[in-house]
Structure 1
Amino acid sequence: MAIENVKGSLEYSKDLQSAMASNPLKKETTSEIQRQKNIQEAASKIDAKALMTSYVVEFQMNVSSTSENNFNSQNSVSLLGGSALSNPDRLTSILNGLDLNAIGYKGKPLQELTSNEAKALIAEDGFFGIAKTSARIADFVIAGAGDDVEKLKAGREGVIRGYNQAQKAWGGELPDISKETLQKSLEKIDKRLTELGVNVLEENV
């Protein structure tokens, strides 16, 4: 009797497993779970891509703002070191809008500089000279981007945008010191891109 009960239980178990395997509701449930999983994975990829794009754009805007601040500061000091100002009102307006703390300048207020002090600041080893200004701009991009090639490229574009915004603020071409600073900044960023395997000659054509 016990053996018959065991056999009966085994047969019942087999029938139940067979029924579950062929149950259309089970298949639909499994399929639905997989479909939901696929949707979630796709959504997470889209969200991640959108987040990364937003992050890169925000970085580029920060670079642009920092670069514009540096170029405007450099140009202001350059003009203060000159003998004549073609547009003193515009200079005053731009000086008032500068964020000198953001670029690390802790010296005498620019409005109070003498002509000789201004010339010293834009000299070869001066805070607003080509070497130090280009280093500040390029280092900001390189430090912020790390090994992320896309962020480096976006930062490079941000530097150019900042330069163009500075030109627009001044209403004309920036002086040679700012043009050379732009060139040196881009050279340093391009060197970093090259180190990461980017062919900058093809990229910048």
Structure 2
Amino acid sequence: MISNTGNSLPLNNITIKNTQSFEHTIKATPKSSSEKNNLSQVTDRVNISYNSEKNTIQEYDMSLEQTAGDGLDLLRGLVLNIFKEQGIEYKIPVADSEINLETITPEEAEQLVADDGYFGVEKTAERIFSLAVGIAGGDVSRLEAIKEGLNQGFQEAEDAFGGTLPDISYETYDAVISKLDEWADVESSPES
């Protein structure tokens, strides 16, 4: 007798039930009539059965929010591994505190690059402008050297990122150039 039950698949679970059994009876055939009397009651019986039940529960949220989170986690992991390989810290000083890149949420990152955020166009342009003017010693005659250095830096950044940067980078560049031009106009005016 051989029996086999198939699979049953409940919702959100996979249940596999497999039951098999095999029974075989061997009867001895007597060679003589005296053996026949002795062996009429003797039979070999083999009963082999196998029963296995495997339950696998697989639930996966395929919502857009979940898959976007997976992509963000993957990107974060790649960036952190690159930082780790280069010996770069995961923490970035921001104003009076610091940001840990391992734990930053998308909402926090969005706030940092918002118009009024620490890495927003205006505040970043102001920091670059202050650094450039400070390195030039406040000397307006070095304006062209400052702009040349900015152009070279942005060109190297473009090359490093495959030829183009995010729009916020170009907006920041334009804001820095504008601040430098305003500074040069104020410093060059006869009233100063």
Calculate the TM-score normalised by the size of structure 2.
Answer: 0.49
Q: Which has the higher contact order (CA 8 A, sep 6+)?
A: 1
User: Where is the strand percentage greater, Structure 1 or Structure 2?
Assistant: 2
User: Where is the helix percentage greater, Structure 1 or Structure 2?
Assistant: 1
Calculate the TM-score normalised by the size of structure 1.
Answer: 0.46
